[in-house]
Amino acid sequence: MRAPFGEPLQVGGAEEIARVAPILARHGVHVGWNVDSFDYDCPTGDGDCVYERVTQAIGKPGAGSYGVVLMHAVHSQTVNALGRIIDYARGNGFQIWTVEQVVMAKYGKSSRELIGLADPTAPAPAPAPGPIPPQMTPMKPPTVPSTPAPAPPACNAPAYAEGVRYLAGDRVQNGGQIFACKAWPYGGWCGAGAEYAPGVGWAWRDAWDLVQSCK
């Protein structure tokens, strides 16, 4: 399974992970992502936008990002891009694995075996095409980087606006405080919706750094 917004297993702190992980381990295997397509940030139906973001991220084997690619089936632009992305990956020498094959390659067991639900009479799942690359660790939560920035001399940043595409380092004012958009890839969430509204959304810390209070 993938936790909604990856929280807390993909982007959370050690205390949150320690609280949630044992519960999840009884019911499923958490799989995070290595490459975020940010497809939600592309115009509706614009498959070219999603295609460019994914292909630029993965590049060529050995010269780009690889691993679990996060996309959302609810977006028409993702649907329009997926076939071309698959063709690009295969045409450039990438192997396409199922998530279950990633689990098998990492742990040597199926997800059902890992949570104790395996049926000994059931056929074994298809093995992965090869060993998992040592750099590819989709199950391990990464450290969320901070955006180092000195505090401005005055609280004169523009007001935060939902739906605006913010870039790393962009500053906004919201609720009497100044915030800076985190570095890529976390900055992709800065204008994603109310849950990421700086200082007030429940997931704002995934996208923003608090710079100073103006109160």
What domains are there in the chain, each with its CATH number? 4-114 (3.20.20.370), 144-215 (2.10.10.20)
Residues 6+ apart with CB under 8 A from 106: 132, 137, 139
pLDDT for position 124: 61
CB 151 within 8 A of CB 178: yes
| Nearest residue to 175 via CA among 156, 159, 196 | 159
Task: Look over the chain and give the mean of its residue pLDDT values, rounded to a whole number.
Answer: 82
Higher pLDDT, residue 188 or 86: 86
pTM assigned to the model: 0.56
CB 190 within 8 A of CB 208: yes
pLDDT for position 135: 45
What is the sign, positive or negative, of the torsion defined by CA atoms of 31, 36, 37, 38?
positive
pLDDT for position 129: 64
Higher pLDDT, residue 119 or 15: 15
- Give the pLDDT band of residue 164 (cuts 50, 70, 90): confident
CA 103, 108, 112: angle at the middle one, nearest 5?
Answer: 60
Q: Looking at the predicted structure, is the pLDDT value of residue 118 above 80?
A: no
- Give the pLDDT band of residue 145 (cuts 50, 70, 90): very low
- Tell me the two tokens of residue 25: 């381990």
Report the SS3 class of residue 60: coil
Q: Looking at the predicted structure, is the pLDDT value of residue 121 above 80?
A: no
How far is Cα of residue 153 from the mean position of the Cα atoms in its chain? 34
